[in-house]
Amino acid sequence: MPSFLFRLMRVAVVLLVAAGVALWLFVAREKPQKKEMAHIPPTVSCVPAVPGTSDMTVEAFGTVTPRNSVKLAMEIAGRIDYIHPDFREGAPIHKGETLLKIDQRTLVLNEKSARVQVDQARADIRLLEQETMNLKADAEIAHSNLKLASKELDRIRALAKNQFASKTSLDKVEQQYLSAKNQLQAITNAQDLVPSRMALKKSVLASAQAALATACLMLEKSEIRATFDGFVMTKQVEAGEYVNPGQVLGVIYEKDALDVDIRIPLEELQWLGSVFENGGRPQVRLTIANLDGGRSPVWPGHVVRIKAAVDEKTRTMPMTVEIGSLEVKDPLLLLRPGVFVKCRVKGEQKEDVFKIPRTLMRSPDTLYLALEDHLVIKKVKVIRRFEEDVYITEGLAPGDLIIESPLPGALEGMPIIVKKGAGN
């Protein structure tokens, strides 16, 4: 029992001491001083509004296509006898090179035979021309002979009339006259037949020349030559294969002759209208769409034509862009058919336009301006939003300070502090 009382007394003493210390701390505490909260206007950064001339660029995408691509096919059947060593996919070709050739042995023999027929027909004509000259000379001799025979006949008749010539002599002279006359008549008849014979000879020559032309044409069709400098896109034949007329053997396309078909949304056409006036062709800058961050080369180009109809599915206007110089140092970045590109078409120019970043807009048509250290909420007329920029024509004046700092709870006329050096 005494032990319990002793412990109880110790606890009571400790509690009393603690209560005394707590009371002393409460009494000795310093009273807080009341201070009035000072309202400090927010500090903002500003950028000046500067008008200028802006190009209304229109962006579109498309796939590179060859302007001139040719599907190679033979016009006659035969077995492939020759293939150019560079006729393989991706290899360059040069104008005038023979790419493919079929077996020409039969065609060469046909061409030689036709050429012989032409030579023979020409020789026949030369013979007939010489015969015509001979007939002309013979006719002159026959005329002279007939005249002499006629004079002799007249002389003998006169002698026979006076009984100085016998009947036998007269008959002989008359027979000579008739013979000379028949000879002249035969020569005249032969001369009359010369035009018909010449026409026949010339028709034979024309037929032989047609046969020769056909043989030469077939020989020409037995091989395929490149009509331009370019590249092989596909190869679909090997040496020794038998091919039929019209069978596609490969595809080639012209070097430095590439186009891009793009589609412009109808609402974007308003920025291109004036550029097409008087035959104008909008300039285009092309980059590879899959290479971002400026890694892609830039190729120049221009719009060459507008398609005849609007695309019914996308409601866009198809246009064709002709690519200019294709030279680049890196062969892996050379434009080829099938590359997906981004095209920036240069549209009309707008003067006195304020071009500002989208991030400065507080709403689709509202800006915060700093005017004499006060906030002004201004409505503006936005004519276009393109990429990260906004184009404004009304509501701003040159030199207006556009606030770019965030202002939560902004109110018209609230005081602000413009950061020194911002917009000045």
Whether 252 and 226 have beta carbons less than 8 Å apart is answered as yes
* Alpha helices by DSSP H, 77-166: 105-161
- Stronger pLDDT, 295 or 207, i.e. the higher one: 207
pLDDT digits (tens, 9 = 90+) for 235-277: 999 999 999 999 999 999 998 889 999 999 988 888 887 888 7
Among residues of the chain, what percentage have pLDDT more than 90?
A: 51
Average pLDDT over residues 408-417: 86
> What confidence tens digit (pLDDT) does each residue in 135-177 have?
999 989 989 988 998 888 888 888 877 777 777 887 888 888 8
Confidence of residue 32 (pLDDT cuts 50, 70, 90): low
In this prediction, residue 422 carries a pLDDT of 47
Average pLDDT of span 282-298:
83
Q: What is the pLDDT of residue 330?
A: 66
pLDDT of residue 34: 62
Q: Check residue 2 and give its pLDDT.
A: 59
In this prediction, residue 297 has a pLDDT band, given cuts at 50, 70 and 90, of confident
Tens of pLDDT, residues 337-388: 999 999 999 988 889 999 999 999 998 899 999 988 899 999 999 999 888 8
pTM: 0.67
> Would the pLDDT of 205 be above 90?
yes
Which of 142-148's residues contact partners 24+ apart within 8 Å by CB, and which partners? 142/180, 142/183, 142/184, 142/187, 143/184, 145/180, 145/183, 145/184, 146/177, 146/180, 146/181, 146/183, 146/184, 148/180
Phi, psi of 278 (to 5 degrees): 55, 35
Average pLDDT taken over every residue of the chain: 87
Task: For each of the domains in the chain, give its residue range(s) and CATH number, in order of start.
Answer: 46-53+353-418 (2.40.420.20), 55-64+256-351 (2.40.30.170), 69-103+225-254 (2.40.50.100), 105-221 (1.10.287)
Structural contact between residues 401 and 418, judged by C-beta atoms closer than 8 angstroms: yes
